[in-house]
Amino acid sequence: MQQPKGHKVFNLSNGATVTWSWGEEALAAINWTEWDAFCAHQGAHSVFLESRMMRTLLASPARPIAALEWRKGGQLVGVAGVEDTCAESVNLESHVTSERSWFRLVSKLLHGQSGRFQFRVRVVGTVLGSGVHGSCWSSDVTAEQEKLWVEETAFLPVKINGIRVPRVVMLKDEPIVHQGQRKERWTGWIPLEFDPEMIFHLDPNWGHFDAYTAELKTKSRTKINRILKLSEELEIKSWTLEDLEERGEDLVNLYQKVYERSGFRLGSLHCAELVESKRIWKDDFVVNGYYLEGALCGFQCAYVGTEETEAFFVGFEPELIKSHAIYQRMLVEFICLGVSRKSKRVNMGRTALEIKSSVGALPRRLQCDVRFRNPLFHRIVHAYTRGYNPSQLSLRQPWKAESYPVKAHSEFHPV
């Protein structure tokens, strides 16, 4: 019997099955109540694994994303999102360091005269955010079973929305909790490390903004006050669904001005996702527009989940960073949102590390794991990437030694 478009079921090893669902068929075919209950039972509180996020992304016609459900004996044992997208590296050698003398030469050959290297990739996990959002598995599933089922699933010839299947798979993101070099997570996969994710831990006893600044060193409190002073001419307005429907493309244009400055890009933002996010998440998707003398000059948006606030995309006129501290003010506003919504942390992503550290965000190392269908190309890339590491930056240390965020941060408790 032919399976309906946008819905495919495959048999895997050890009596398991995996169901791929995408587009409108996925919205109707998946039991989203079961999905959320499963994630909650396994302790997965990522906003990117919530059914609200999956439904938001599945509703976007421009995004080839599928919701995956693994079952054994009819019971749900794993869920994930998979997206086929385009990755782009821009002048990679300026963002990484390498012990190998030929790394820069090979990098220049790959990036060409334009300084850009693009390739299509199937991503298991979220393209739009960084952090532990990739998948959720039952505690009964062993590490060996997870590896087997993911490998059997990720290379299936499923054309999501009819788009050609990429020849490389990336697993996102696994925390690096040990000191030193990244390690191979799964045999046959190449571990890659980019910039760390910046996390802002929120003390549950903070009831207002001053409680946060009280735990900063004097110099850092002065810096926060300067941010507020420089940005006082900016007017911040909350956007409604109607605003997004009418002017959403203006936000995407502002986002592109920031996007073009990043060194490694995975996916992009579409107006449809902003509109659909507001429709589904309502007050839990916060969009603020920034205005200077009545003209829109920036925006920020965030998802508020059960435990975390996910600082999502921002966009702004670049010249306002110095003159009006617009980006720094946005970081402060993300923190204020987390405090007001009683989140445990604010996930700030893996760009602008020094600025984020200056307001109190702390780094958590993450690795992605990749595997190529072509064995020869896989070996070449493995050799190419073995010697490089993310460029080391000098991050700020704004917290007092006994502050809550320092104690809460997992990076200070390696296992």
Residue-wise pLDDT tens for the chain (415 aa)? 445 679 999 999 999 999 999 998 899 999 999 999 999 999 999 999 999 999 999 998 888 999 999 999 999 999 999 999 988 776 555 555 555 555 566 556 555 555 566 889 999 998 888 888 889 999 999 999 999 999 999 999 999 988 899 999 999 999 998 888 899 999 999 999 988 999 999 999 999 999 999 999 999 999 999 999 999 999 999 999 999 999 999 999 999 988 766 666 777 788 999 999 999 999 999 999 999 999 999 999 999 999 999 999 999 999 999 999 999 999 999 999 999 999 999 999 988 999 999 999 999 999 999 999 999 989 988 887 877 777 777 899 999 999 999 999 966 554 4
Architecture of domain 7-194+366-390: 3-Layer(aba) Sandwich (3.40)
Give, for 220, the enclosing helix (H) or strand (E). helix 218-230
Query: Contact 282/56 with Cβ under 8 angstroms?
Result: no
Distances (CA, A) of 86 to 82, 169, 266, 324: 13, 12, 6, 34
Distances (CA, A) of 5 to 8, 27, 205: 8, 13, 50
Three-state SS string over 271-339 comes to: HHHHHHHHHHHHHHEEEEEEEECCEEEEEEEEEECCCEEEEEEEEECCCHHHHHCHHHHHHHHHHHHHH
271-281 and 241-259 are packed helices; what angle lies between their axes, rounded to 10 degrees?
140
What pLDDT shows up at residue 195?
Answer: 87
Closest to 85 in 3D by CA, of 128, 45, 48, 27: 128
Fold entry, domain 198-365+395-412? Aminopeptidase (3.40.630)
Query: Taking the model in full, what pTM does it have?
Result: 0.91
What pLDDT shows up at residue 335?
Answer: 98
CATH topology identical between 7-194+366-390 and 198-365+395-412:
yes
Distance between CA 275 and CA 67 in Å, rounded? 20
Closest to 312 in 3D by CA, of 39, 48, 51, 40: 48
303-192-40 Cα angle (round to 5): 35
What pLDDT shows up at residue 94?
Answer: 54
What pLDDT shows up at residue 111?
Answer: 53
Q: Where are the domains of the chain?
A: 7-194+366-390, 198-365+395-412
